[in-house]
Amino acid sequence: MKTCAVRKLVFFILFALALPLPAQQPEPILPDPKLTPGDTFDVTADDICTPGYSKKVRNVPQSVKEAVYREYGISAHPPHAFEIDHLIPLELGGSNSLKNLWPQSYLTLPWNARVKDRLEARLHALVCAGKLDLKVAQQAIASDWIRAYKTYVGPEPKALGRPSEDERAETAPAVTPAAPGQVWVNTRSGKYWRPGSRYYGKTKQGKFMSEQEAKAAGFQPAHGTGE
Partner 1 sequence: MQLNRKLTHLLKGRTIQAESGDQGSVVLTFADGSTLKLKVAGQASVTAGGKVKAAHESGAEFRLDLETGSAVQVRLADPGSSVALRDRNGAVEYLG
Kindly list the residues in this chain that would bind partner 1 in the complex (CB under 8 A): 39-43, 47, 50, 53, 56-61, 64, 95-101
For residue 58, the minimal CB distance to partner 1 (Å) is 3
Nearer residue to partner 1 within complex by CB, 28 or 51 = 51
Alpha-carbon Rg of the chain, whole angstroms? 22
**What is the C-alpha separation between 124 and 216, in angstroms, rounded?**
9
Q: Are 100 and 39 in contact (CB under 8 A)?
A: yes
For residue 121, the minimal CB distance to partner 1 (Å) is 20
CA distance readout (Å), 126 to 97, 145, 218: 25, 16, 11
For residue 220, the minimal CB distance to partner 1 (Å) is 16
Nearer residue to partner 1 within complex by CB, 50 or 176 = 50
Nearer residue to partner 1 within complex by CB, 57 or 153 = 57
Q: Are 184 and 136 in contact (CB under 8 A)?
A: no
**What is the C-alpha separation between 177 and 117, in angstroms, rounded?**
12
Q: Are 89 and 141 in contact (CB under 8 A)?
A: yes
For residue 61, the minimal CB distance to partner 1 (Å) is 8
Nearer residue to partner 1 within complex by CB, 60 or 107 = 60
